[in-house]
Amino acid sequence: MKKNILLIPIYFLILFNLGCKKSPTEVVDNTQPGRRDYVWTVDTLRIPFTFLYRIWGSSANDVWAVGPGGGLDQTIWHYDGSKWKTDGISRGISPLAVWGFGIDDVWIVGHEGKIWHNAGGGWAESFGYKKNGFWVDFEDIWGDAPNNIYVTGFIDSGNVRKGLILNFNGSRWNEVTIPNIPYSFSRIRRGNKESANYYLYGYGVNAMNSDNVGLFEFFSNSIRSIYEASYSSQNWAFIQEINSNLYFVIGNRIQKYLHNEFIHVIQINDSNFGAQIYGRSSKDIFLRMFDGIAHYNGSNYEYLYKFNDGITIVNAIIFEKEVFFLALDVQNNLNLIIKGKLTEQ
């Protein structure tokens, strides 16, 4: 059972005619269609035995990328607008996620329940979650404000695994008391314009001992399932916050969740769709494809960038005029940052 659970994140990293139906409950978006005139460049990082999984930045001149593996002095990288650099300092964290609120307020979380913070003067450990005999991983960090940050992951005794949530109130980290749910919570998001509730994506093992994916609604100490299915390309799931609105990907369908029901937004009838989206508005959404990057402008989608087999996008950060897509070239042991910049008008 444990082996199956541990393999699921790898599946999502390597794997991870368009209809639009408006609902009476859906807010009409009056923004202009997103532009598609990007100039593309690729930065290549060869880091032995290390793959960067998450990317975040306060601007196109202040971007962080993190990932586990290799030496502990090669897991945190920074882009200053011209070069990617690591300071070469070995730190006791194997990071899995990064989030922040400015150049002097950046957080990373990772294996063994570690949370580190950079307040502008360098990285320092902020918190370590420990429980004797248990393995703890933090897989995501996200917050609405510097005094309201959530970290999600799991705690595992070797026989039983359950989801874990921590909250930072601006001064200290506290564990959130929730029911025992046999999932690893690998993503948390909230759409501020739509709901006070947070939503989680998780993966686990179901009663038939097969891999499961699930979406959960979370508020205060209450948590409930809104979608669960056995893992497959038709059932995989993803959550994304775009312009303070929340979008859910289930298989090839992009949906909203309003008034306790999923509402259809877009269907991507393309087997290359990789179940992840990023964007600026409902008419400016980037689609992760297995062979490139596509774009939806509110009425149709088309490819903006294509790449060869063996490359997979794992994360992205979107700015006003620039986009950064973090990708892995596993066969050649390379980390790629595919950058798009809108042409001047």
Instruction: Report pLDDT for 31.
Output: 73
Report the pLDDT value the prediction gives residue 125, as an integer from 0 to 100.
Answer: 96
Any idea which of 29-43, 79-93, 112-126, 317-331 has the lowest mean pLDDT?
Answer: 29-43
Q: What is the mean pLDDT of the chain?
A: 89
Instruction: Give Cα separations from 126 to 107, 109, 266 (angstroms).
Output: 9, 10, 41
Q: Is the pLDDT of residue 51 over 60?
A: yes
Residue 17 pLDDT greater than 50, yes or no: no
Q: What is the pLDDT of residue 280?
A: 97
Answer whether residue 10 shows pLDDT above 90: no
CB 158 within 8 A of CB 141: no
Which tokens belong to 136?
A: 């703890």
Q: In this predicted structure, what is the pLDDT of residue 8?
A: 40
- Rounded to whole angstroms, how far apart are CA atoms 234 and 312? 19
What CATH number is attached to the domain comprising 291? 2.130.10.10
3-state helix, strand, coil in the chain (%, to 5): 5, 55, 40
pLDDT (0 to 100) of residue 233: 80
Q: pLDDT at residue 24 above 70?
A: no
pLDDT at position 30: 54
pLDDT attached to residue 221: 86
Sign of the alpha-carbon dihedral angle for 148, 54, 325, 342: positive
pLDDT at residue 294 tops 90: yes
pLDDT tens for 83-115 read: 999 999 999 999 999 999 999 999 999 999 999
Q: How confident is the model at residue 35 (pLDDT cuts 50, 70, 90)?
A: very high
Number of domains in the chain: 1
Tokens of 12: 């999502």
In this prediction, residue 22 carries a pLDDT of 36
Q: What is the pLDDT of residue 205?
A: 65
pLDDT for position 69: 86
Instruction: Please give the helix or strand (H or E) that residue 13 lies within, else none.
Output: helix 2-15
**Confidence category of residue 70, pLDDT binned at 50, 70, 90:** confident
The pLDDT of residue 231: 84
The one-letter amino acid at 86? T
pLDDT in tens, 125-165: 999 998 888 999 999 999 999 999 999 999 998 888 899 99
| Token pair belonging to 194 | 């739509």
Segment 277-302 shows an average pLDDT of: 97
For residues 213 and 225, what is the distance between their CA atoms, to the nearest angstrom? 11
Span 212-265, pLDDT tens digits: 999 999 998 899 999 999 888 888 999 999 999 999 999 999 999 999 999 999
CA 64/CA 35 separation, integer angstroms: 25
Q: How confident is the model at residue 309 (pLDDT cuts 50, 70, 90)?
A: confident
Q: Which residues pair with 283 in a beta bridge?
A: none
- Residue 323 structural domain: 2-342
